[in-house]
Amino acid sequence: MFLCGGLSEAQEAGENIQKICDNVKPDVQKKAGKNYEVFTAVLYETQVVAGTNYYIKVHVGGENYVHLRVFENLPCYGGGLELSDMQQSKSYNDPIEPF
């Protein structure tokens, strides 16, 4: 059952989610103060608000992961992607939770 404002079930990240990550990677690196050679989307959940929040688990090398919250504006407001927030020092087993 879909709940507006609630998170979807975790899904494997595909090409479209990787494109979102590639788009915000410069902002992520700036915020983290690091350059990531590995930056691979693994899992994601979505939250429908006045647009869409993507909560994405990204592998950044070794045993290291980050969680991203990326907002995609509605097309009627120009679309566009924005890194809203990120969490560092995550592992593969850490669940994706709203932040």
**One digit per residue, pLDDT tens: the chain, 99 residues?**
445 667 889 999 999 999 999 999 999 999 999 999 999 999 999 998 889 999 999 999 999 999 999 999 998 888 899 999 999 999 999 999 989
- Please tell me the total count of domains within the chain: 1
| Coil vs helix vs strand at 19 | helix
| 1: in domain | no
d(CA 14, CA 33): 26
| 4: in domain | no
- The CATH code of the domain that includes 27 is 3.10.450
CB under 8 Å to 75, separation ≥6 — which residues?
none
Q: Which domain range does residue 76 map to?
A: 11-90
The pLDDT of residue 5 is 65
d(CA 57, CA 69): 9
Determine contact, residues 47/55, Cβ cutoff 8 Å: yes
| Coil vs helix vs strand at 78 | coil
| 28: in domain | yes
pTM of the model: 0.92
| 98: in domain | no
The pLDDT of residue 89 is 95
